[in-house]
Amino acid sequence: MRVMLRIASWIDAITNRLSMLISVVVILAVIAGFLNAALRYLGQGLQRTLISNELIQLQWYLFSLLFLIGFPYLLKHNVNVRVDFFYSRWGAKPRAVVDLLGTLLFLIPFCVLAIYVSVGPVLMSWGRLPDGSWGTWEVSSDAGGLPLAPLKSLIIVGFFGLLVQAIAQVFKYAAVLLGYQEANQSVMVVQTEQAEAETIVREMREELRQEKPAGQQSGQQ
């Protein structure tokens, strides 16, 4: 189990480094969006076409890249969207049971299936022909459009990263159930961050509830 935890820590370290890449992609996407809007309005004022399809497609390239490379980071830090009534009130071991079963029964099979069904279309996008030969890669049908093959390849990369991180999470959930202190500390840090966020939300709701009657009274006066 200690070997598995060491492997999980290596995977976590790689996933954490993705945060730097995610930050760069976010900045580039914001710049691309700003340029798209600025050039559109400037072109209207000058009555000229300043915007290009390359810049427009670059924006949704970056947007897609942000989501695909962000999958493992979201899973590792447990900030994915949850809709539950009981999970947030449970301790470490009950949560580990739910997370372990969900990861083994749903997340890992889904990642494997997504990679499997994406291989064929991605190869075709790179120019793989039915007879096994290779042609030209897929390019956007828009004038001056960017190649689509690299973007479609990111689907496999994104789900592979999510699969690897899911395996690391399985190791940590299993270690929590077996009582390993290292895994307990790792999982508890994430759960503590989530609990603090939930506490802040509850406090804000209470403040709003207290301010509402006061506002109503002043309105009545």
> Residues 131-148: pLDDT tens digits?
888 888 888 877 777 888
Q: What is the pLDDT of residue 194?
A: 56
Q: 104 versus 151: which is more confidently predicted?
A: 104
pLDDT digits (tens, 9 = 90+) for 157-192: 999 999 999 999 999 999 888 877 555 555 555 555
Domain extents for the chain?
Answer: 2-220
Least confident of 10-24, 100-114, 173-187, 195-209: 195-209
Other residues' Cβ atoms within 10 Å of the Cβ of residue 161: 22
Q: What is the pLDDT of residue 177?
A: 87
HSE toward the beta carbon, residue 64, CA cutoff 13 A? 16
The rounded distance, in Å, linking the Cα atoms of 219 and 115 is: 59
Q: Is the pLDDT of residue 202 over 70?
A: no
Rounded (10°) CA dihedral 34, 36, 39, 40 = -120
Q: Transcribe the chain into DSSP letters.
A: -HHHHHHHHHHHHHHHHHHHHHHHHHHHHHHHHHHHHHHHHHHHHHTS----HHHHHHHHHHHHHHHHHHHHHHHHTT-S----SSGGGS-HHHHHHHHHHHIIIIIHHHHHHHHHHHHHHHHHHTTB-TTS-B-PPPB-SSTTPPBSHHHHHHHHHHHHHHHHHHHHHHHHHHHHHHT-HHHHHHHHHHHHHHHHHHHHHHHHHHHHHHHHHHHHHHHH-
Contact 71, 159 (CB under 8 A): yes
Q: Is the pLDDT of residue 52 over 80?
A: no
Percent of the chain with pLDDT over 70: 81
Q: Is the pLDDT of residue 10 over 80?
A: yes
